[in-house]
Each structure stands twice: as structure tokens, then as C-alpha cells.
Amino acid sequence: MTFYISLSPIGLFAHDNKGELVDSVIFTDLNKAKEQFIAAMDKQQTDEEAQLIKKIEKKDKEIIFEIPKEGYVNQFPNISGDTVRQNLPKLAQSTGFCKNPSDLYNHIHSLNMGITRAAVKKASTGDRFLIHAVNTIDELESSANMLAIRLKEWYALYFPELIENTRSNEKLASIISSDAHRDKISPEDAKDTIGADCPEQDIIPMHRFATEIHNIYLHKKELEEYILKKSKEIMPNASELISPMLAARFLAIAGSLEKLSKFPSSTIQVLGAEKALFRHIRGNGTSPKHGIIFQSPLVNQASRKTRGKVSRMLASKLSIAFKMDYFDKKLKGGKKLKEDLDKRLQNLKG
Amino acid sequence: MKCVIDGIYRFGKDFATLSLAPNKKVYDEKTIRKGKDEYRIIDPKKSKLGAALRMGLKETGLFEGAKVLYLGIASGTTASHISDITGEHGLIYGVEFSSRSIRDLLPVSRVRKNMIPILADARMPQTFASRIEKVNVLYQDVAQKDQSEIFIRNAKAFLKKGGTAMIAIKARSIDVTENPKKIYAQEKQKLSQYFEVVQQVTLGHFEKDHAFFLCRMR
């Protein structure tokens, strides 16, 4: 005959295969129960479990746990867990764990709150920080460009020649923010400008605005440095194959390093090309050859004919690298992967 | 105002629940005061239960004092209304896999003692089984490919005999390319092996390509 053991918020129970209670170990009291329960969720055997097993082992039977436990078979759901979950309030009273149901439910509430709070704390890992940084870069870029358009229109009233001669928004913001007076920026152009002459009070707000935009660009550069560093830390192996920035973008699309590590290489190959992929699955159009993987120079500098192949090879190596990065960062396989890839690329050319 | 289903009141075309925690909004729901009582309107655009009611759901199986297992509780929008219905003697075990959503749920469940947050994967009931008990009602909204299988597995483990089970099926999570009607039929068949499907409503314009099934455990 077999005995089944289950864990509950009030203690441990053992039942026989007919669902009859054989024995139990009830947690000491409401205060201690939390600790004892959390310990029992682990694979390692706790004192309470040892106590229960000792009690029933005299009867010399096979023991089956409901949750994984080192050295024992487990089965879910088992008859013991089923019976306990069916009668929890009754059991709590009859075993003397607590006097009334409301005590039991307050206990279950606080037990779960504790476990969940700890789990939430643990879930905020380094990759989450990196993801927000990547998304922030994109947002800074687009807002800076939007504000720069306004600056161009505004400043062109005063000194249109500068706008004409400066292509880059970033540079423009930098010039105006250092000094907004046109005769300081370019005395030659300023001499016969078609821009309006205006008093100091009109120049000050433009200067202030340009400074703001300039700061956004500076901030973006700082963030890029942070991402580079952080990405190398979190994904050292993937960073050997592609730029750390691109690795971080992969992470941002996937949502977490765990998810990324579980993607097959075919998914990695087309990550970022969802629109084309689903169009293909619906039956219109060809399958995409590459998603954001295209940003790697290996892919975008390959000849048109081999791009698909290169992107497939790179994706397959990347999928291995992401797995190393997630499961064990100490694995230094990135270099080897890169060498293998280079060899294969050579064959492709030759 | 009329009580149409256990714990659910009707104001014109809107459905509402009597708030368990007056003056404490959970999301930006509309509220109606009647003397001391505060009724919270279920927003059909934010809650699939609300949408199903608007689309003609006749019962919910929820009652005062009911124990509920809610898979995919997210930040507790729908669950807060269920918490109103089951009242302080009822209980909702809310399982959610996203730590981001649970973070929003924690403050809600601090106020509403009948909501119990559990960060776990609904696919693996063995990971949270020890922390809960059997329930009268199972409610699931998880938008996963294998959502019917998850539903059946949890119902078998945790739903009392004769208990009610509700599931929101998102066709686009099962297969983006297939015709939703075909998917509903196929999922209904899976459910019929274990449940009596009491009612099926589509959620219309409230939630695109969604169907809501009300089932009873055999």
C-alpha cells in the first residue's frame, strides 16, 4: 500500500490510497506556519516532513509526495492534496490550528502576500533595467527630433542661413545652445542675413530651448554607454557575435533574457519582422529572411544572394549564445561561436 | 436599479457590483452612490466579464461567500468586481504570471482581504496547489495557445463537483490565421469532454475575436 503526503498552509498530511487520513504534522502556530510552509515548498526535506515520515514509516509503506521532494516520487494531484483542499477550513478547526475560519483565511492571505512579494522582488532582474534603457533611447531620439523641428522653424526667423548649412539636428542644437547670437556663430553669414533683427528678449527663449534639446542628445549618449556596459555584462556571449547594442535590442523585443534564451533560432532570425512574418503565414507574400538581425554588418554587408543564408547562420549561433548567457554566464563560448561562424561564412564565399 | 444576477445590479444598460471598499477605486471605473452604498460599474471595454454580461451572459455562478480561482488575474480589474460579489466571506485565489501586473495587484489585495495574489504559471498548477483550496468557481483569462488545456487541468485539480467555470477564449492567441468561429467550435469541443457548456457568447466589439464560455463541471 502507498501513503500520499501533501502540503497545505496549516501543515502536512498523509493519506492512504482510499483518502483516509493516516497522520499529520500541524504547523506550530500562526506565526511560525509561514516559515515552516515556505521551507517545505523547497525540494529539501524539512524537520516537519521528517517528523511525518518517521511517524508513518513504522507502518512501512511507499511514500508519494505531491510536490517534488528529493529522494521521493511525486505525483500531482495526489489523493492527499485533493482531500485536504476539499476540507481545509474543517481541518484547520479539527486539528486545532486555528479557532475560526477567518483566522485561517487571514493566515492564507498573509502567507501568499509574503510569498508573492518576495517573488516580485526577485523577478526584477538586471535584464529589465536594460530593456527600459533601450526603450528610453528610442523615445529620447524621437522626442529630440520632434523638438528639433520646432527649433528649426523658430530659429530660422532669426538666422535661416545656419539652418540651411546644418544638416544634423544634434549639431544644430549644440551650436545654438552654446551661443544663440548669430554674429557669434558666423559673423560672415550674419552680415547679410535675411533673418529678422530681434531684441535680446526674443533670443533668450530660443537659446533656452536649444539647450534643452542639446541636453537630451547628451543624455542619449550617456545612456548608450550604459547600455553597452550593461549588455556586455548580461549577455557576454551574444555580445561577441553582434554589437552589445543590437543584443540589447533583441532583449527589448523578447521581453526578458529567459524568453530570449528559449526562442528557437528561426524566431531569432525574424524577430522584428513580425509584420512580414504574419503576412507570410496568412498566405500573402514571401517569408522574411531577417528581422533586426539585419542591423548586424555581417548580414547587411553580405551580398543580396547570401543574406538569407548569413542571417540564418548568425541566428543559429545567436540562439546558442543567448542560452549560455541565460543559463550560465560563466560559459565563455561566445568566441568559439564567432570562430565557427566566420569559418562557415568563409565557405559560403569560397 | 435591479439585481439581475447574484450580486450584479443593472443600471440602464450598464452592469455594476456593490463595492466592498467604497471610495477606493481599483481602476478608473464609474461609480454610483445610493445612500451609503456605492455601486461600481463594470467597464465592458476593460473587463471581459463585463463584456460578456453586455452580450447577454445569463449567469455567472458567483455568489456571496464563494471561493474563486482566477487564472490570469492581471492587475485585478475584473477580479475586483468578483471580490465585490463574493464579499468578505468569499475568497479569490488570483494567479498571474507577469510580475509587472502583480505589482499593481498587490495594493488592491491589501485593501481587499478576499483577494489573494499568487505569482505563478497557470500551466503548472502543482506550483501553487499547496497554497490554495478547492473552489466553487473557476475563471480564466490567459490568452495562451493552450488555454483550454490549462483550463481543464486546473478545473480537474481545483474545481468542486458541480462548480461553475468561465473562460474567455482569444481566437487570435490560438491561431492568428484561422477563422475565429472555427476556433470557438474546436475549443468548445475540447471543453465539452469535461464540462457541460451552459452558454457561449462572443464579446462583439468590446473585445475583438473573443468568445466567453460558461461551463459546469460534470
What is the ipTM for the molecules in this complex?
Answer: 0.92
- Low-confidence residues in chain A, pLDDT < 50: none
Task: Note whether A6 contacts B130, CB cutoff 8 Å.
Answer: yes
Q: Kindly list the residues from chain B whose CB atom is less than 8 angstroms away from the CB atom of residue A64.
A: none
* A residues 96-155 closer than 8 Å to B (CB): 105-106, 108-109, 111-113, 115-117, 119-120, 123-124
For chains A and B, what is the number of CB pairs under 8 angstroms? 88
3-state DSSP call for residue A20? coil
Residues of A in contact with B131 (CB under 8 A): 9, 108, 111-112, 115
User: Which residues of chain B are within 8 Å of residue A86 when distances are taken between CB atoms?
Assistant: 133-134, 160
Beta pairing, strands B2-5 & A21-26: unpaired
What is the nearest CA distance from B119 to chain A, expressed in angstroms? 6
User: Contacts from A26-33 at CB under 8 Å and sequence distance 24+?
Assistant: A26/A95, A26/A96, A26/A97, A27/A97, A30/A98, A30/A103, A30/A107, A33/A9, A33/A97, A33/A107, A33/A111
Q: Which residues of chain B have pLDDT under 50?
A: none
Q: Which residues of A touch B97 (CB under 8 A)?
A: none
- Determine whether A197 is exposed, middle or buried from the number of CB atoms within 10 Å of its CB (0-12, 13-18, 19+): exposed
pTM of the complete model: 0.88
Answer whether A123 sits within 8 Å of B119, measured CB to CB. Answer: yes
Place of cell 510569498: A115
Distance CA(A238)–CA(A246), nearest Å, equals: 9
Cα separation, B109 vs B102, in Å, equals 10
b/e for B36-46, b at 16 or more Cβ within 10 A? eebbbbbbbee
Contact across the interface for B106 and A86, Cβ inside 8 Å = no
- Average pLDDT across chain A, whole number: 93
| Pairing, β B8-11 against β B14-18 | antiparallel
The DSSP annotation for A114-164 comes to HHHHHHHHHH--HHHHHHHHHHHHHHHHHHHHHHHHHHHHHHHTT-HHHHH
- Give the minimum alpha-carbon distance from A282 to chain B in angstroms, rounded to a whole number: 6
Please give the pLDDT value at position A57.
77
Strand order in the sheet with A21-26: A21-26, A11-16, A2-8, A62-65, A73-74
pLDDT at B171: 96
Whether B109 sits inside 8 A of A113 (CB atoms) is yes
Residue whose C-alpha cell reads 503576412 in the numeric block: A279
B106 with A120: Cβ contact below 8 A: yes
In this structure, what C-alpha cell is assigned to residue A13?
498530511
Instruction: Give the nearest partner residue to B131 out of A9, A86, A89, using CB atoms.
Output: A9
Grid cell listed for A295:
542591423
List beta partners, residue B91: B67
Q: Nearest C-alpha of chain B: how many angstroms from A278? A: 8
pLDDT for the residue A329: 79
Q: What pLDDT does B64 receive? A: 95
- Which pLDDT tens digit goes with each residue over B10-64? 999 999 999 999 999 999 999 999 989 999 999 999 999 999 999 999 999 999 9
CB-CB: which of A86, A89, A112 is closest to B131?
Answer: A112
Q: Inter-chain contact A109–B116, Cβ cutoff 8 Å?
A: yes
Residue A332 confidence (pLDDT): 85
Using the beta-carbon criterion (under 8 Å), do A115 and B131 form an inter-chain contact?
Answer: yes
Of residues A178, A183, A184, A206, the one with CA closest to residue A193: A183
Q: Are A293 and A299 in contact (CB under 8 A)?
A: yes
Chain A residues within 8 A of B93 when measuring between CB atoms: 112
Q: Report the chain A residue with the minimal C-alpha distance to residue B103.
A: A120
Cβ–Cβ contact A43 with B under 8 A: no
pLDDT of residue A186: 92
Pairing of strands A11-16, B37-41: unpaired
User: Using a CB-CB distance cutoff of 8 angstroms, which residues of chain A are in contact with residue B102?
Assistant: 116, 119-120
| CA distance to A182, B118, B122, B123, per residue, from B194 (Å) | 80, 26, 18, 18
In chain B the domains, ranked by start, together with CATH numbers, are 43-217 (3.40.50.150)
Q: Which of A42, A96, A39, A99 is nearest to A67 (CA)?
A: A42
- Is B45 in contact with B77 (CB distance < 8 Å)? no
Q: What is residue A287's DSSP assignment?
A: P
